[in-house]
Amino acid sequence: MLTHIDDRNQPSMVDVSAKSASKRTARAQSIVYLPEPVRNALADGDIDSPKGPVFQTAIIAGVMAAKRTHELIPFCHPLGLENCKIRITVDDRERAVIDCTVSVQHKTGVEMEALTGASIAALTVYDMCKALSHDIVILDTRLLEKRGGKSDYTTENGDP
């Protein structure tokens, strides 16, 4: 059953007024392939570009986006996020791994906020590095886990 369709088969925001507030957390990940020219610019855990430090800027952009998810995705409830952390590492497979964890005490979950934060951070890495190479690929964005609400979720899939 789709949650954003009402009894008249029309798009609708989910009514959370009867739900109890509880701690909700979600963790999402985006993976970005970094081609050789981009990897060659990597030093001390970040990439210095004419636009500034890439990963630090991507972290800021991702947090800003997570906080504004309701403005980007129809029917997402506006939430005053209590925590949003983004971590970016480079793995041994030449990829930037962007991990976004979001939490709030509320009546609705924060999966979309975590996914939005990870996605926008990945797009920021692409934007800031495209002068080095257009062969950057955003490979994967997915929810890794959520806690709180009706059910918890943890991905059973391995690393893509």
Position 15 in a domain = no
Position 159 in a domain = no
Q: Tell me: the pLDDT tens digits for 89-100?
A: 999 998 999 999
Asked about 127 being catalytic, the answer comes back as yes
Domain CATH for 95: 3.30.70.640
Residue corresponding to tokens 């996605």: 119
Per-residue confidence (pLDDT) for residue 68, from 0 to 100: 97
Position 154 in a domain = no
Of 119, 117, 125, 116, the residue nearest 51 (C-alpha): 125
Position 5 in a domain = no
Q: Treating both helix axes as pointing N-terminal to C-terminal, what angle do 111-129 and 54-67 enclose, rounded to 10 degrees?
A: 150
Is pLDDT above 90 for 114?
yes
Determine the Cα–Cα distance for residues 126 and 38; give it in Å rounded to an integer. Answer: 10
When divided into structural domains, the chain yields a total of: 1
Q: Tell me: the pLDDT tens digits for 1-59?
A: 667 677 787 777 777 877 888 899 999 999 999 999 999 998 888 888 878 899 999 99
Q: pTM of the predicted model, to two decimals?
A: 0.90
Position 73 in a domain = yes
Q: Give me the domain span that covers residue 39.
A: 22-147
Task: Choose the catalytic residue: 127, 135, 152, 159.
Answer: 127
